[in-house]
Amino acid sequence: MKKLFSLLFILLAINSAVNGQTIAERAQIMAANMTKQLSLSQQQESDIYQLVLNRLNSLKEISDKKDPGYEKKYMIERRKFHTDIQAFLSKEQYQHWEKIANEQSATRKSGKPITHPVLDEELELKGK
């Protein structure tokens, strides 16, 4: 399980580097995806953006240090995010978000690509 999370984090970092996205850009895309999928208000989108930005910065810091036990720190950060996000979503939005997160987790495990509504639209507009 630890190796899976380590691999997932490394793949996310590589994906970010390959796409040339900064942490702020990734946070913006993630917030925009959540806005589209969960029908967030402008205030919710702003709050979620800040939450995601903080999480991505924390994960980068954990990754950069490469301390022993970084997998545990990563898991703690993941649990904290799941707890913190509840404060910004309605009960229905949170349930829908959990469903999407579980589906994405299953998709990752199956090796299939995960779809991202905002990124998919951007790629279609660019003709890729």
Q: What does the pLDDT look like over 43-101, one tens digit per residue? A: 999 999 999 999 999 888 888 877 778 788 878 888 888 889 999 999 999 999 888 88
Tokens representing residue 54 in the block = 């903080």
Confidence at residue 128, expressed as pLDDT on a 0 to 100 scale: 46
The residue ranges of every structural domain in the chain are 22-123
Confidence at residue 13, expressed as pLDDT on a 0 to 100 scale: 54
Q: What does the pLDDT look like over 65-79, one tens digit per residue? A: 777 787 888 788 888
